[in-house]
Structure 1
Amino acid sequence: MHLFYQPEPITQLTEDDSRHAVKTLRLSAGDSIAVTDGHGNRHLAVITSADARRCAFRVTDTQTTPPRPFSVRICVAPTKNLDRIEWFVEKAVEIGIERISFFIGQHSERRVLKLERIEKIGIAAMKQSLQSYLPRFDEATSFTDLLKTVAEEQRFIAHLPANASPANLASAVDPGGHYAVLIGPEGDFSASEIQQAQAAGWTLATLGPNRLRTETAALTACQLLNFVNY
């Protein structure tokens, strides 16, 4: 069954989804669809008006998916090449993530990020992977301000210092927790940012012996946290 996204009120599809349902999928009145509000509710519905601009439907049943017993939040600096961070967002949503927070670090090459495009990619990935929860996407903020917003109990900063050997992220976490992982920009974190994070209760952790691109590191962290919980 085809899955669509429509926040409240649940009466008709968005214009983009209406066009996709009627023009691309060739759905018509009487066909069954599923609609999620992005908050765990999935509505089973029947199309009542196959209009390519305002496809209306009638809800026949509602199923609620409980939140996962753990949560993943990746805090990442946007990459200079926007395609790379968009790729991360798409794949992270498909794998499973509750929140993506963007920050501008001292070594960041990109200092502006339009969240509207990120949200559209997230919605498309949620529908493609048949999920009922849309992750939260936070506007890019300063590194210092970001640290003030993080309340997750298990907080890690992905960094491999030259004179230390921190634990691998997969072995450092406790299953069933609420996680936040900091991923630095292309130029890595500055020494002062690492000190600031550690002073705020973040723990150094590695993602393996290889040096990873920002978007690869962010996706690796997301996958590891999902893996240890399944």
Structure 2
Amino acid sequence: MADPRFHVPDLNGAEVQLAEAEGRHASQSRRLRPGDAVMLFDGRGTEAAGEIAAVSRSGVHVRILRTWARPRLRPTVTLAVAMPKGPRQDVLVEKCTELGIAGLWPIQTDRSVSEVSDHKLDKWRRTAIEAAKQSGQAWLPVLSPLRRLGDVLAETAGFDRLFIAVPNSDSPTRWALDVGEVESVLALIGPEGGWTESELAACADRGCRAISLGPNTLRIETAAIAFAALLHASLGRA
């Protein structure tokens, strides 16, 4: 059985203290005691093997035995998504974190139905941490504040491949597999009401390739997960 994993933002030093929630999980849920082996990760590619040094009212301390770096897989995948409502947001964040996306940019489109508050971003970060712990990810996705579609398109020069999911499109799915040796991919997932013609034209002007995710009409979170899984599998990550 794999050693339990815990998120520690800073792995510098010979010993670290787990954050309150992580410490409670270690001592109460996992019932770890001094000498028990654990794995730590900082969410930025550094991992560490450690052992519980002390469990007390002041917290759980872990002695770091060794650290190493895990490079992020290439190409990196950033999803720009018109987020769904309610708990479906958490499903999207959880599953896409498991699939190793590098970033999630919530976007405001003409037909968007969801706002993004600081509270939601904090909740998504906690969801991403739990998903990374479960799936063995060393990297956490960068979660961006809400952006307008036009602002996202203004930043596309930083990506090597641009895709836009278009429901019931005749565009070939194989385009998503044609990533070669590129370093970065940006994929746009629109609202359930669909993209407007002006939005599609603006994306096409920036070089976004339309891609179909199949003949069915997918919910937002399903489309985001499907694209992440498609690229994940095409790179031999699955």
Aligned amino acid, residue 16 of structure 1: A
1:4 aligned residue: 6
SS at match of 1:120: helix
1:84 aligned residue: 88
SS at match of 2:87: helix
Find the aligned partners of 2:176 and 2:109 in 1 and give their Cα distance.
27
2:159 aligned residue: 152
Shift of 1:41: 1.1
Maintained 8 Å contact 1:176/1:229: no
* Unmatched tracts of structure 1, length 5 or more: none
SS at match of 1:86: helix
* Unmatched tracts of structure 2, length 5 or more: none
CA RMSD of aligned residues (A): 1.7
Shift of 1:69: 2.5
Find the aligned partners of 2:11 and 2:66 in 1 and give their Cα distance.
15
The answer to whether the aligner puts 1:71 opposite 2:73 as a matched pair is no
1:53–1:185 Cα change, 3 Å: farther
SS at match of 1:139: coil
TM-score (norm 2): 0.89
Per-residue deviation, residues 85-125 of structure 1 (Å, max 9, x unmatched): 21011111112211111101100111234211111100000
Q: Percent identity?
A: 30
Shift of 1:83: 0.9
1:52–1:153 Cα change, 3 Å: farther
The answer to whether the aligner puts 1:136 opposite 2:138 as a matched pair is no
1:111 aligned residue: 115
Maintained 8 Å contact 1:175/1:228: no
Shift of 1:172: 5.5
Maintained 8 Å contact 2:163/2:176: no
Aligned amino acid, residue 192 of structure 2: E
Find the aligned partners of 2:59 and 2:217 in 1 and give their Cα distance.
48
Maintained 8 Å contact 2:9/2:42: yes
2:234 aligned residue: 228
The answer to whether the aligner puts 1:202 opposite 2:208 as a matched pair is yes
1:38–1:77 Cα change, 3 Å: same
Find the aligned partners of 2:235 and 2:57 in 1 and give their Cα distance.
42
Shift of 1:174: 2.2
2:186 aligned residue: 180
Find the aligned partners of 2:189 and 2:128 in 1 and give their Cα distance.
19
Shift of 1:169: 4.9
1:185–1:60 Cα change, 3 Å: same
TM-score (norm 1): 0.92
Aligned amino acid, residue 109 of structure 1: V
Per-residue deviation, residues 9-47 of structure 1 (Å, max 9, x unmatched): 551111000000001111111211111011111111121
Shift of 1:191: 1.0
Maintained 8 Å contact 1:170/1:224: no
**Among residues 22, 27, 30, which one is paired with 1:25 in the alignment?**
30
1:37 aligned residue: 42
SS at match of 2:145: strand
Aligned length: 227
Q: Which moved more, 1:45-54 or 1:14-23?
A: 45-54
Aligned amino acid, residue 50 of structure 1: V
Aligned amino acid, residue 8 of structure 2: Q
Find the aligned partners of 2:74 and 2:116 in 1 and give their Cα distance.
34
SS at match of 1:55: strand
Find the aligned partners of 1:51 and 1:77 in 2 and give their Cα distance.
44
